[in-house]
Amino acid sequence: LVKVPGLGTSRVMLLGLGKEADLDSLTLQKAVKSAASQLVGTDIKHATFALEDAAKKLDPLAALRDTVLAVSYGSYRFEHCKTVAKAKKKIALNKVSFVAEGKSAAKRKTAVKNAAAVASGVEFTRDLGNLPGNICTPTYLANEAKKLAKEHAKLKVTVLDEKKMKELKMGSLLSVSRGSRQPAKLIIFEWKGGKAGDKPNAIVGKGLTFDAGGISLKPAPAMDEMKYDMCGGASVFGAMKAVCEMGLNKNVVGVVPASENLPDGDANKPGDIVTSMSGQTIEILNTDAEGRLILCDALTYTERFKPKTVIDIATLTGACVVALGSHASGLMGNDDKLIEKIKKAADDSSDRVWQLPLWSDYDRQLDSPFADMQNIGGKEAGSITAGCFLARFTRKFKWAHLDVAGTAWGSGAEKSASGRPVPLLVQYLMDN
Ligand code: BES
Ligand code: MN
Ligand code: ZN
């Protein structure tokens, strides 16, 4: 070991941040993530990050927040399903400090506190996403929601079972769960951090705990990744957890329709026509376009909260992965101001989005000869026609849709839930 003069530490890790001119929030996060994942592989117990000087090009509070988030992200491991014998070498790292001097001490403290809350939400979302479909069922999700409510006095959780959903005439959502032995759940979070009469912002996430496609069965390769089809719902769980932990002083509603989509003798068949809670009828031409079928009833249900705005989050279309890859979530909506606010929150949280248009020309692709609409719009513009479908159920409020099919998890050697778009959602909820 070589002592570095003037430093009271025995080891120094040097971190390359690339060319200063190219340094941004994302490069900083990438570097810190890899540093953190190196650290948890060692027996080091305490590490101090001193990056403010090197990253002085960035806003000091943003750089501090990015560093906190990236340390959490890089040190994440998912080992819930490994036996003690095989793995679970305890991570030695138990304390991380940050050297920062920019802005006031109070502001730095708040930045760290909020970043830690977001990190905790991201971690929750990643854990739920990474759990396999046989463990993370709709009932499991409902229980996790109830557990969270027990820990936070201002959080109320309600779970609707299939009987209750039948009474509410959620014929579209229930048509999907009919093909599964696992009963569907509609999970509702109400965070009462604001004044009693204040209208909430609502977030609604697709909680499809396993998507085999139904009778329109998916091909076998990589089908395991469809355990991640509840990541939109999991991002609602994560955002709610972050909101609880930072004690946000605003009202927030979260809604997660949870179901499986499997082939079965009682499953939806191509050509079936169902009636949604809104009263509109839907011809199901492809049972694999099930996300929109569960979301439409959840969105209609959300009307009762008289929300200021509604954002839905869903791993909705493979077409979105083709269009935007894994770097940006697809953004659509019916209100330009809301869209601008989401773009701003996305920039501020380095959780990127890219907007797609919802023109009426696309909407017409959903016209059906037999029902009010069909659930698919043909080969062209699959992400947009999925957005147009949801738009038919969101006319009563300001609404935006995030297609996170490409961003919610990574494949291959890096296979893991990403926790996106929790940072974006929390930023939006804080700012609005
Ligand atoms: N959950 C899938 C979308 C998906 C596929 C997300 C691959 C990420 C990776 C969704 O339920 C689905 O199957 N969508 C269909 C729609 C089609 C039938 C119009 C799709 O994208 O193929
Ligand atoms: Mn599907
Ligand atoms: Zn799906």
Ligand 2 centroid vs 288 CA: distance in angstroms? 4
Lowest mean pLDDT, pick from 75-84, 103-112, 325-334? 75-84
Please identify every residue whose CB atom is under 5 Å from ligand 3, which is an ion.
Answer: 208, 211, 229, 291
Ligand 3 centroid vs 430 CA: distance in angstroms? 29
Q: Which residue has the least CA distance to atom 13 on ligand 1?
A: 288
Ligand 3 centroid vs 415 CA: distance in angstroms? 18
Q: Which residue has the least CA distance to atom 3 on ligand 1?
A: 317
| 274 within 8 A of 203, measured Cβ to Cβ | no
In whole angstroms, how large is the CA radius of gyration of the chain?
22
pLDDT digits (tens, 9 = 90+) for 21-61: 999 999 999 999 999 999 999 999 999 999 988 999 999 99
| 366 within 8 A of 282, measured Cβ to Cβ | no
Non-local (6+) Cβ contacts of 205 within 8 A are 232, 233, 234, 235, 236, 237, 254, 255, 256, 312, 313, 314
CA dihedral over 77, 83, 86, 90, signed as positive or negative: positive
Task: State the catalytic residues.
Answer: 218, 292
pLDDT(1) > 60: no
State the Cα–Cα distance between residues 95 and 67, nearest whole angstrom: 14
CA–CA distances in Å: residue 69 to residues 25, 76, 211: 11, 11, 30
Query: CB of 315 closer than 6 A to ligand 1?
Result: yes
Question: Percent of the chain scored above 70 by pLDDT?
Answer: 99
Quickly state the pLDDT bin for 193 (edges 50, 70, 90).
very high
| CA of 208, nearest ligand number | 3
pLDDT digits (tens, 9 = 90+) for 157-172: 999 999 999 999 999 9
Quickly state the pLDDT bin for 83 (edges 50, 70, 90).
confident
State the Cα–Cα distance between residues 198 and 126, nearest whole angstrom: 31
Query: CB of 403 closer than 6 A to ligand 1?
Result: no
pLDDT(390) > 80: yes
What does pTM read for this prediction?
A: 0.98
Write out the two tokens for 412. 């291959």
